[in-house]
Structure 1
Amino acid sequence: VLLVAAATGAALALGPIADAMTRAGIPPGWTLAACDVGQGDAVVVRSAGSVALIDTGPDPAPLARCLDELGIARVDLLVLTHFDLDHRGGIDAVRGRVGNLVHGPTSGPSDVRVLEELAAGGARITLASRGMSGLLGEAHWRVLWPRATTAPGNDASVVVEFRGGGVPTALFLGDLSAAGQQAMKAGADLLAGYDVVKVAHHGSADQDAALYGRLHAAVALITVGENDYGHPRGETLTLLTAAGARVARTDREGLVALWRDADGMRLWHERAAPPPAAVAPGG
């Protein structure tokens, strides 16, 4: 059951007043929140007072604002799916505030520098590997990808799953291409279904429709901003709705928060989504 709550936190002014209104409107019981950081990923998971952050977006300022709105002072687990700027550019917003970092494979000195800077701020650094798992509060997380032999890049994105502890069962696909999704799916111990899937690569056209059909997600979360790539692509929106998912987009809805209660899963968004328009493939 998916219950969509009305957006009560839409910003009506600029600066601190708008931020205060947004903060007041965010439901206190949220357990998963997608930050509106533009064209990039930054999703927060919370269980029993512990916090995970999956990627940091392209810039520190919007991430810092989002974490402040959510009341997040410390990140117990940071997952850097890979080292593209739109996934790690906001690191300065959490530097010195990270307990554990799980990351994808590095591809050069600049990636290693990111890890060294986080380690200098007190983070414990671990290279992700398929089968790795742990606890976040009362929630369980596990890494489904990459393999140790996967070459750095989009298709080596760390794919992580969260379940239990009041968190909607969620799968985060990083920037995997269709080929990467197929490789991940082969041999992965996927659950029978998920409440939420973080759509790969901001809703690009390079998706494995069979995977999304297999996931049976109630919500398809697209973290996206203004871009020149046509993200999210029309054919991807079509395959997601055909798979039965409610598409939630940060470019149109702003901050998106989800949680579970006795009646099922709930979704809150900062801004009311405009009615869907007819979208041609590639639009």
Structure 2
Amino acid sequence: MGQRPLEGRLVVDVLDVGQGDAILIRSPEGKTALIDAGPTRDAAARWLRAKGVDTVDLAVVTHHHLDHHGGMESVVRDWRPRYFLATDSDHATQSWLRLLKTVKAEGITVVLPTGRPRKVELGSVTLTILPQPPHDPESENDNSVGIRLQYGGFSMLMTGDSEPPSRRWWLENCPELLRDCSVLKLAHHGSRNGTDAAWLDVVRPELAVVSLGAGNSYGHPHSEAVELLKAHRVSLVRTDQWGTITMVSDGETWNLVSSSIARRNPRERAGAPTRPVAAGEWGRTRRR
């Protein structure tokens, strides 16, 4: 069994792994999923150890870029997840092929997204794997896996580094799986091509989170994305300012909590939420 960090609570950690993505999900029953694993060998593994995670039920790589799978080989080798989910995109590098070799050597069951939604149960938490858009040989970002997390009335949408073509495809083909999410993980580290008005109009998040490295060379998050969120009155929290971002829900209400919040005092930083977030209720969850 995995850790039970808060009995009766869902805990989602957007891990501080620098310029990359890694999201740790722990259900009230102790089931665990890791979505992406950061850019470096120990990016995710050190956080799993620090949080006392002893089992990983599901490991997901949203797409085949190093900033999302660089730390997954260590996780596969040391935690031996029950299932490994990734696409069969033909975008392959030596590091990606090495990861696949490790998955096979450890005897882990491989699961592929399909053209229809797939549900994964982590105890009382449901992960819905969005239908996979048609393969794009030119843009690996647009081969990203999309996932909606649902626990009671709390929901979170995560779509890797998806760009406008794949997001338009989801809007056209499965809008009901995108609607009214409590939290949106910004695609492509807050890039201008990772968020648009049509997407926000459907998702209608209460909060946006973004994973990125401090002083990154890409200029993430781009000012266009930040201003768009402001125009839609969506608060933004960032790992480069806050460190690991932790959300906790009992299925009825949810909180944004983290020891790093008090340490970094992000409310003194430009663009940080002005409402209290270190303790207490962030919002009532929205039932679908």
TM range (shorter): 0.7 to 0.9
Residue 236 of structure 1: CA displacement? 0.5
Q: Which moved more, 1:121-130 or 1:244-253?
A: 121-130
CA distance in 1, matches of 2:131, 2:99: 21
The aligned residue for residue 208 of structure 2 is 220
Check whether the contact 1:167–1:259 (CA below 8 A) recurs between aligned residues.
Answer: no
Report the AA paired with residue 195 of structure 1.
Answer: S
Sequence identity of aligned pairs in percent?
31
Stretches of structure 1 that go unaligned for 5 or more consecutive residues are: 1-25
Give CA deviations for 1:160-217 in whole Å, capped at 9, x if unaligned.
11102x6831110110112321122211132530111110000001132210121111
The aligned residue for residue 89 of structure 1 is 70
The aligned residue for residue 124 of structure 2 is 138
CA distance in 2, matches of 1:219, 1:150: 30
2:16 corresponds to which of 28, 36, 56: 36
CA distance in 2, matches of 1:278, 1:265: 22
In the superposition, the TM-score normalised over structure 2's length comes to: 0.80
Residue 108 of structure 1: CA displacement? 2.9
Q: Could you say what secondary structure the match of 1:220 adopts?
A: strand
CA distance in 2, matches of 1:80, 1:62: 14
Check 1:128–1:106 CA distance in 2 against 1; reply closer, same or farther (3 A cut): farther
Q: With CA pairs under 8 Å and 6+ residues apart, which has the higher RCO, 1 or 2?
A: 1
The aligned residue for residue 9 of structure 1 is none
1:177-196 mapped onto 2 (5 Å cutoff): 177-188=163-174, 189-196=176-183
Stretches of structure 2 that go unaligned for 5 or more consecutive residues are: 273-288
The aligned residue for residue 186 of structure 2 is 199
CA distance in 2, matches of 1:262, 1:136: 14
Residue 69 of structure 1: CA displacement? 2.3
Q: Which moved more, 1:147-156 or 1:216-225?
A: 147-156
Cα RMSD for the two superposed structures: 2.3
CA distance in 2, matches of 1:84, 1:214: 27
Report the AA paired with residue 230 of structure 1.
Answer: G
The aligned residue for residue 101 of structure 1 is 84
Check 1:41–1:167 CA distance in 2 against 1; reply closer, same or farther (3 A cut): farther
Check whether the contact 1:52–1:75 (CA below 8 A) recurs between aligned residues.
Answer: yes
CA distance in 1, matches of 2:123, 2:105: 25
The aligned residue for residue 243 of structure 2 is 254
The aligned residue for residue 117 of structure 1 is 102
In the superposition, the TM-score normalised over structure 1's length comes to: 0.81
The aligned residue for residue 55 of structure 1 is 36
Structure 1 position 233 matched with structure 2 position 222 = yes
Q: May I ask how many residue pairs the two structures share in their alignment?
A: 253
Check whether the contact 1:172–1:199 (CA below 8 A) recurs between aligned residues.
Answer: yes
CA distance in 2, matches of 1:73, 1:155: 33
Q: Could you say what secondary structure the match of 2:165 adopts?
A: helix
| Bigger strand share | 1
Check 1:155–1:216 CA distance in 2 against 1; reply closer, same or farther (3 A cut): same
Check 1:71–1:126 CA distance in 2 against 1; reply closer, same or farther (3 A cut): same
Residue 68 of structure 1: CA displacement? 1.8
CA distance in 2, matches of 1:233, 1:249: 12
